[in-house]
Structure 1
Amino acid sequence: MTREEFIAAIAPAAVKLRLEGSPLFPSVRIAQAILETGGVIPAWNNLVGYKVGSGVLTPYWKGRSVNKSTWEVYDGGETRVRADFRAYDSVEDSFRDQDLLFDLERYRRVREAKTPGEQIKALLAGGYATDPDYAKKLDQLTEQYALTRYDKEVDDMLEQLMEQIRLLQEEVRALREQKAMTEIPVWAQEAVQAAAAAGILDTTTGGSYDFYRFVTILHRLGLFDAKGQAG
């Protein structure tokens, strides 16, 4: 699998989760997956380097794990260690489980980040990795593969969604106005009948609420006499 194929394979899930409210920008999520896996989807589908940790089960992690070799940075030096990593049924499950991790207070800055760059720094500050160059590496990957295009994709989709909502609201308003044109309000019926008797209004045509208010005001001012003529 080439790096481009890897990105194409996981980008849809990164975009989908962001649209659903995930705190991670797609660009950050993809860059992190590249860094954590080297651009290879492992059989256990853990693309985020999420260790077993407390071992508490979640809706997306059922308790399976794999023991793998990894490296950490302690006191400025790299140390090779083995650790238990969570195993998932799918890549999307690994992303969703990671989002649960980001609910912790230590990752508040990750959730509140306004830009991918700010979020990358917040990941390191929150202790997601021991590598002091973690943020720098994520920045480099983001730039190298133009990953912010996926953030823009989300923004464009949200903009389209907002436009669809606006058009739907206009349609609802139009339907309400249409209903108003075909139904005479109870409070205006007497005035409409008087106006019709005066021969100045065809009650079958209907009218807007503002029109009915106007007719009602004229009626209350006595501009239609009892014989059905205009006053």
Structure 2
Amino acid sequence: MVTRQAFIELIAPIAVKLRLDNSPIFPSVRIAQAILETGGKVNAWNNLVGYKVGSGVLTPYWSGDRVSALTWEMVNGVRYDNVPSDFRAYPTIEAGFRDQDLLFQFSRYVSVRNAKSPGEQTQALQNSGYATDIAYASKLNTLIQTNGLTRYDEEVVEMLEQLQAQIAALQTRVGALEGQAALKEVPVWAKTAVDAAVKAGLIDTPKDGSYDFYRLLTVLHRKGII
């Protein structure tokens, strides 16, 4: 049997990784939602967020696989148990989370994307109708608080601050190098790392960088920091 802490330790690195990769969802909210939707257990279909089949439109992360399961719904404040529903099935937990992030790009979830704090985001999830449970935000907030999940939000902030400091130090070093000609194009071997750094907002347009600059970006990317 998977303990609550073991479940959190399994989900947290994925939630942090996705946040660093520009996911709109705070790690604390993502972990709390996974606990609430599954009871802290990894289901066989790797859908930890209660994402139903819905329109059935395929995405890069969902190929159409589904499972039928009983759930409960709230309608006009009344709870109905044993409601049959079809849920999306994924090859991995990360694929399920990434598919959910695509859902949150719809205008209906603009308040979820724009939330500035976990508490604001949990309320936005409830207000946008992600779940029918009228106590959805309250339950998520309780899970975040009792399990100390905001530490994973803080981990993301610390990692970004460290990366910013590393980038700043690198730029200073590059600027001080004498006789080091700037490269006019991004080396082929550095393109993936540069694209990731630009996407994360750590650097601007990748032009006229030095060899060392591109080399460090590549190392940081390979270590999963970018």
Q: Which interval holds the TM-score relative to the shorter structure? A: 0.7 to 0.9
Q: Return the letter of the residue paired with 1:88.
A: Y
Deviation string 1:84-131 (CA, Å, 9 cap, x unpaired) is 000000000000000000000010010001101000100001110000
Whole-Å separation in 2 of the counterparts to 1:161 and 1:108: 28
Confirm or deny that 1:37 pairs with 2:21: no
Confirm or deny that 1:10 pairs with 2:5: no
Q: Return the letter of the residue paired with 1:167.
A: A
Which residue number in structure 2 is paired with residue 198 of structure 1?
Answer: none
Q: How much has 1:19 moved relative to structure 2?
A: 0.2
Which residue number in structure 2 is paired with residue 51 of structure 1?
Answer: 52
Aligned mate of 1:150, from 149, 152, 163: 152
Which residue number in structure 2 is paired with residue 68 of structure 1?
Answer: 69
Q: Which has the larger radius of gyration?
A: 1
Counterparts in 2 of 1:91-130, with a 5 A limit? 91-130=93-132
SS at match of 1:92: helix
TM-score w.r.t. length of structure 2: 0.78
Aligned mate of 1:169, from 168, 171, 174: 171
Which residue number in structure 2 is paired with residue 20 of structure 1?
Answer: 21
Which residue number in structure 2 is paired with residue 179 of structure 1?
Answer: 179
Deviation string 1:57-89 (CA, Å, 9 cap, x unpaired) is 000001000000000001211112010000000
Q: Return the letter of the residue paired with 1:146.
A: G
Task: Point out which structure has higher relative CO (alpha carbons under 8 A, 6+ apart).
Answer: 2
Deviation string 1:2-43 (CA, Å, 9 cap, x unpaired) is 000000001000000000000000000000000000000001
TM-score w.r.t. length of structure 1: 0.76
Q: Return the letter of the residue paired with 2:104.
A: F
Deviation string 1:162-209 (CA, Å, 9 cap, x unpaired) is 00100110011111xx229xxxxxxxxxxxxxxxxxxxxxxxxxxxxx
Q: How many residues matched?
A: 178
Structure 2: runs of 5 or more not aligned: 181-226
Counterparts in 2 of 1:75-90, with a 5 A limit? 75-80=76-81, 81-90=83-92
Whole-Å separation in 1 of the counterparts to 2:171 and 2:85: 53
Q: Return the letter of the residue paired with 1:93.
A: A
Whole-Å separation in 1 of the counterparts to 2:173 and 2:24: 33
Q: Return the letter of the residue paired with 1:179.
A: G
SS at match of 1:139: helix
- Identity score, percent: 62
Whole-Å separation in 1 of the counterparts to 2:136 and 2:118: 14
